Amino acid sequence: MKKLFMVLAATVICGACLFTSCKKDKVNTDLNLKENIIGKWMPADIDGQPVLTDKKSVYTFVSSTKAYMSVSTNPQQGEGTVWNDQKELDVAISGNTMTLTNHSDEHTTMVEEFTVTAINGSEFTANHKLTVKVDGSVVLSNEGVIRFVKTSADYSAAILGTWECLEITGGETNNDDNARLEFLSDGTYNFYRLNDTGQWEVVTNREFQNYFVDGTLLATRWKNAGEDELREWWEVASLANGQMQWTALRQNPDGTTFQQGVKWVKVN
């Protein structure tokens, strides 16, 4: 069991820890961090390199002592299966240093330390240190620099209802233009296909299908009977007047990146 916990700890609630490197920025002082950190933040880049959509997380600071974090890891790439929809974190701020503690289970504790070097109303940059302990022993530790951007958008209510796909650009996804998605308020959704008679019918062979929207990040997961679980990640670029657009930064096997997009229209 100890080995299992160590494997999980390497990927648990990965958020910013997936993106760290060894570079550090010079620390500024007097940033009024306790007030300026309040709000919803998403990682944007690491050392100037943009964060892939499937590596993004959302940190929501409601006070100087409490925050929530949403993240879905990628089991298709061998990562631990973490699905956190606004997981509560303990926050401690001293000067320009912010420590986030997450007790992910009875064995595993993750501590993220952000030494903020710059912050304003739209972004902040920090030297980041991650420590993961299992049963009190350190199993993972690394450091790096990360830049976050702030968002005031939250589409968790606006996305409710049924949406029909109009267009997909930028390559294949698990969605296609013969699809409707019905997002329900309990964190589940229904998937519809257009049948040969021109009628929309719900796909019934799924063991589960869940989603969460936090800020602009949309995460989905589903499992067809007898198959492996699948997940997908998008950012809601816009949602207004019955129109919705998703975007995502993906990575090719050779390391190059490309942009995907999906347009939807609301039908119910």
What is the domain-level CATH number for residue 183? 2.40.128.280
Answer yes or no: are the C-beta atoms of 51 and 57 closer than 8 Å: no
Residue 4 lies in a domain: no
Cα–Cα distance measured from residue 90 to residue 67, given in angstroms and rounded to the nearest whole number: 7
Task: Please tell me which residue, 25 or 107, carries the higher pLDDT value.
Answer: 107
Residues 6+ apart with CB under 8 A from 177: 165, 166, 167, 168
Tell me: pLDDT of 7 over 90: no
Q: Output the pLDDT for position 25.
A: 56
Q: Are residues 108 and 228 in the same domain?
A: no
- Tell me the average pLDDT of the chain: 88
Q: Which domain holds residue 178?
A: 161-266
Q: Are residues 135 and 178 in the same domain?
A: no
Cα–Cα distance measured from residue 223 to residue 231, given in angstroms and rounded to the nearest whole number: 9
Tell me: pLDDT of 266 over 70: yes
Q: Are residues 99 and 184 in the same domain?
A: no
Least-confidence region, from 16-20, 127-131, 249-253, 262-266:
16-20
Cα–Cα distance measured from residue 54 to residue 71, given in angstroms and rounded to the nearest whole number: 9
SS3 75: helix
> Which residue, 259, 258, 255, 257, is CA-closest to 245?
259
pLDDT digits (tens, 9 = 90+) for 71-88: 998 776 665 678 999 999
SS3 241: coil
For range 164-193, the mean pLDDT: 91
Partner residues linked to 167 by β-bridges:
263
Residue 8 lies in a domain: no
pLDDT digits (tens, 9 = 90+) for 114-139: 999 999 999 999 999 999 888 888 98
Q: Are residues 213 and 92 in the same domain?
A: no
Helices (H), the chain: 2-9, 33-36
Task: Please tell me which residue, 112 or 20, carries the higher pLDDT value.
Answer: 112
130 alpha carbon, distance to own chain's centre: 18
* Six token digits for residue 261: 């997009």
Q: What is the CATH number of the domain that holds 116?
A: 2.40.128.20
Residue 2 lies in a domain: no
Q: Are residues 54 and 19 in the same domain?
A: yes
Pick the last residue of a domain from 124, 151, 178: 151
Residue 111 lies in a domain: yes
Q: Are residues 252 and 215 in the same domain?
A: yes
Q: Are residues 108 and 181 in the same domain?
A: no
Q: Confidence band (pLDDT; 50, 70, 90) for 27?
A: low
Scored b (16 or more CB within 10 A) or e, 111-145 reads bbbbbbbebeeeebbbbbbbbbbbeeeebbeebbb
* Six token digits for residue 199: 């009628």
Least-confidence region, from 22-31, 46-55, 148-157, 191-200:
22-31
Least-confidence region, from 39-48, 59-68, 80-89:
80-89
Residue 156 lies in a domain: no
Q: Confidence band (pLDDT; 50, 70, 90) for 26?
A: low
Long-range contacts of 63-69 (CB under 8 A, 24+ apart): 63/38, 63/91, 64/34, 64/35, 64/37, 64/38, 64/91, 64/93, 65/90, 65/91, 65/92, 65/93, 66/90, 66/91, 67/91, 67/100, 69/13, 69/15, 69/100, 69/102
Q: What percent of the chain has pLDDT over 90?
A: 69
Q: Confidence band (pLDDT; 50, 70, 90) for 11?
A: very low
Pick the last residue of a domain from 151, 180, 207: 151
Residue 1 lies in a domain: no
Q: Confidence band (pLDDT; 50, 70, 90) for 259?
A: very high
Q: Are residues 147 and 181 in the same domain?
A: no
- Number of Cβ within 10 Å of residue 89's Cβ equals 23
Q: Are residues 141 and 188 in the same domain?
A: no
Q: What is the pTM of this model?
A: 0.86
Pick the last residue of a domain from 151, 179, 213: 151
Q: Output the pLDDT for position 104.
A: 75
Q: Are residues 237 and 139 in the same domain?
A: no
Domain count of the fold of the chain: 2
Tell me: pLDDT of 176 over 90: no
Tell me: pLDDT of 169 over 80: yes
- Number of Cβ within 10 Å of residue 102's Cβ equals 20
> Which residue, 233, 154, 220, is CA-closest to 189?
220
Q: Are residues 135 and 175 in the same domain?
A: no
Task: Please tell me which residue, 79 or 169, carries the higher pLDDT value.
Answer: 169
- Number of Cβ within 10 Å of residue 168's Cβ equals 17
Q: Are residues 18 and 136 in the same domain?
A: yes
